[in-house]
Amino acid sequence: MVLKFAEPRWLVAKTTTHLLALLPLALMIMAAMQGGLGADPVAELTHRSGRWALRFLLFSLAMTPLRRLLSRPWPIRFRRLLGLYAFFYASLHLLIYLVLDLQGEWAQILTDIVKRPFITVGFAAWLLLLPLAITSSKKWIKRLGRNWGRLHKAVYAIGLLAILHFFWLVKADKREPLFYAAILGVLFATRLIAAWRGRAAKHPSAASTPARR
Ligand code: HEM
């Protein structure tokens, strides 16, 4: 295989991203081994994995606006990687819930999905993440063509569901879920503005004509 000139730089950048992305997992394992997870270790692991799932989702969503802001293509190279880490931490979060919280009584999750709205919403977010993770490869991008982009726009809805899930379970201090909601709002707004500008550039006359009622 012939190595391109730019490859070592990307290799370093991607390896660093993987290492940073795996750091929260390493810290969770270390804290678990040293008894540093507080009075309720299972709850602490659920909280940490859930937060990292949400954060990686937002990091991945931030890559397209960052590309526009910097007028450089490189952020896009990290979008898929960060999205897959969102799925990884969301699946870890689900696994911790199933194995450590429900302790093997897995049928209980069906009752939870029906009776506890925040679980319903969290589960819906995870289910929607699943096809995005499966279709994230180059093979699927080719196979789905334009539909790939349409499918992957669902990531905003997933972000919204994940934040709603967080918002619902927090009893008193809602500042953290509100902070994530504000970030998602800004990212979505930049997307809308870019789409509007793109349309205006394609059809300049339509953009300057007032909309018909
Ligand atoms: C797969 C289905 C899911 C289940 C069963 C589930 C379950 C839970 C549970 C039991 C908690 C802790 C509730 C408490 O403290 O009382 C929690 C918290 C949380 N979950 Fe999920 N969740 C799911 C999916 C997700 C997904 C997909 C995300 C993000 C992408 C997510 C993000 C969060 C966040 C941010 C928290 C709050 C963490 C904190 O309090 O610090 N969850 N979830």
Instruction: Give the burial class of 98: count Cβ atoms within 10 A of its Cβ; 0-12 exposed, 13-18 middle, 19 or more buried.
Output: middle
In a domain, 52, yes or no: yes
Q: pTM above 0.85?
A: yes
Output the residue whose Cα is nearest ligand 1's atom 36. Answer: 50
pLDDT in tens, 137-164: 999 999 999 999 999 999 999 999 999 9
In a domain, 22, yes or no: no
Which residues, judged by CB distance below 6 Å to any ligand atom, belong to the binding site of ligand 1? 43, 46-47, 50-51, 53-54, 57, 90, 93-94, 97, 119, 122-123, 125-126, 162, 165-166, 169
Which two three-digit tokens encode residue 122? 């969290």
In a domain, 127, yes or no: yes
In a domain, 64, yes or no: yes
The pLDDT mean for the chain works out to: 92
Give residue 56's pLDDT: 98
In a domain, 13, yes or no: no
pLDDT in tens, 101-134: 999 898 999 999 999 999 999 999 999 999 999 9
Which two three-digit tokens encode residue 87? 């799925």
In a domain, 18, yes or no: no
Do 49 and 41 form a contact (C-beta atoms < 8 A)? no
Per-residue pLDDT band at 205 (split at 50, 70, 90): low
Q: Which domain holds residue 167?
A: 39-190
Give residue 199's pLDDT: 83
Output the residue whose Cα is nearest ligand 1's atom 24. Answer: 122
Helix (H) or strand (E) holding 57: helix 41-70
In a domain, 205, yes or no: no
In a domain, 140, yes or no: yes
Burial 149-176 (b: 16+ CB within 10 A, else e): eeebeebeebbbbbbbbbbbbeeeeeee
Q: pLDDT > 70: what percent of the chain?
A: 93
pLDDT in tens, 44-67: 999 999 999 999 999 999 999 999
Number of domains in the chain: 1
Give residue 1's pLDDT: 44
